[in-house]
Amino acid sequence: MTHEIVMAGFGGQGVLLVGQLLAYAGMLEEKQVSWMPSYGPEMRGGTANCSVIISEEPIGAPIIAEPTAVVAMNLPSMDKFAPSIKTGGVLIINSSLISTEPNRKDLVIYKVPANEIANEIGNSKVANMVILGAVIAATDAVTVDGAIKAFQKKFASKPKMFTVNEQAIRRGMECVINAGK
């Protein structure tokens, strides 16, 4: 299966990092991966998104026209990318910041209160890692062990961060599993 995942939010929410960790985990699991950011004259608070492809086959175009899954960290991201998702695909929305109902009936939708969960854990910055956990549980694109290993490799110089981030990933997974995945 080829996972074509778009992650979108506003600058500073950490969507580019989540995408990189997914790609990194895929690479560690011997899959073909690509990560492609949107880039432009943006500033903190502007929009940010990236496209991650994880596949068993060599990857052709690294650009995604019809995602198999979309993560929307805020409302403009949902408005922009929800219409492009493949029928039967996955939409994960950050329900801490999005109260509007998505208008697609042909998707598997997970509402994850990422900011609330992050605050419960005691670190508001790990909302993006909660979402990473949700993506893993919802898509099975990579394993949780792969994602945690990727995190530890990427942040090898900051071992103090491991526990809280792993906790966030696992809480995100639980959120999706409890929703009936």
Q: Which residues bind other proteins (CB under 8 A)?
A: 20, 23-24, 27, 33-37, 39-41, 59-63, 65
Minimum Å distance from CB 61 to other proteins?
4
Minimum Å distance from CB 38 to other proteins?
9
d(CA 103, CA 130): 24
Place of tokens 């985990």: 25
Question: Closer CB to other proteins, residue 35 or residue 110?
Answer: 35
| Contacts of residue 158, Cβ cutoff 8 Å, sequence gap at least 6 | none
d(CA 153, CA 147): 10
d(CA 75, CA 59): 30
Show the CA angle centred on residue 141, arms to residues 23 and 27, nearest 5°.
35
Minimum Å distance from CB 101 to other proteins?
29
d(CA 3, CA 34): 11
Question: Closer CB to other proteins, residue 31 or residue 111?
Answer: 31
Residue type, 50: C
Question: Closer CB to other proteins, residue 36 or residue 109?
Answer: 36
Minimum Å distance from CB 19 to other proteins?
9
Question: Closer CB to other proteins, residue 42 or residue 140?
Answer: 42
